[in-house]
Structure 1
Amino acid sequence: MLWQRWQQRQSDQPGPLDDLLLALPILGSLQLRADIRSFCDSLGLLLEAGMPVLDALPRACNAVTNARQRRDFANLAPRVTAGQSLVRAFDGLSFHGKAMLIGVLNTGEATGRPGEALLRFARLQAQQLAASQQALASWAPRLFYLAVAVWMAYGLLSGGGFFPALPAELAGR
């Protein structure tokens, strides 16, 4: 419940928790990819519906849950307003999968269908994200069980389970 509430907040200023979440080894990358997918999906749908790019960009930013990422994606609109193409505006960002997005978006702009290209990229990201989440869901319990087994083995070996010690008065010391 608290996690969902935190995810739905619309803070403009990124906090330390936003940075911490993105810095986590596995979960940070999943969060980043989910935000990129949500942004591209929203922007693609808005462009396909006929909304102008400059109107669609701020609305698509609302789909991004992490405030740091939302602020980064909000910087796209001023770049497009300054005359850059959507591809060049994305080129200023840094994220996993940027090369694929730029390639797909280049093709989309060349054919006059950037919305369709963004939706295609969002579908690919969703498939990759689902595969990563599935792998995490199958490996997390295994790693937990392994940690418990190691802890139990350590307890047995360092305690008196296998190698009991005689009391000092019986050992003749």
Structure 2
Amino acid sequence: MSGSTAIRAAALVTMTALLGACQSDGDDRAAAPGGSPSSAPTAAPSTEAAPPPTAAPSPVTAANTAEVCATVDKLIISKSREISADATEATRKQLTPEEVNAQVKTDLADLADDVRGQAAKAEDPEIKKLVGDTAKQIDAGAKSATPVKWLSSTFVTIPAKLSADCRV
């Protein structure tokens, strides 16, 4: 398999995995075990008073956690689409594997910077660490000798981890 074909295949695998992991229609919790929406009746609204608001958000409910997590998802999806488009263009232009690797390294370095920016904005210390660690992981891909291989092995695991751990 040529370098251009390999990058294209890796990009397609990456895009499929990322889009599946990052996108949620919000109905995940309403699905029955078989995957169809539950027909169980919903509980009646509670008549208990809501707890009084606190002066500072707790780590679990930090004000901007949902925004930071959603932005990181969007950044990863957007950059994945860009990498996929670049792979198609690389095939058309018949770039060498070295040129393709350089392009992927640049894309990953840019993504790591953008993700690191979101980590700096996070108010929740756990989310700040999770997103910061994600940026470090993407940096490792940008510094990898084989970033295309890294895309299809390591990068595709990032959205699932964020989806599981980056929550309000």
**Quick check: which has more Rg, 1 or 2?**
1
Structure having the higher helix fraction is: 1
TM-score normalised by length of structure 2 = 0.34
Which TM-score applies when normalising by structure 1? 0.33
User: Greater relative contact order (Cα 8 A, min sep 6): structure 1 or 2?
Assistant: 2
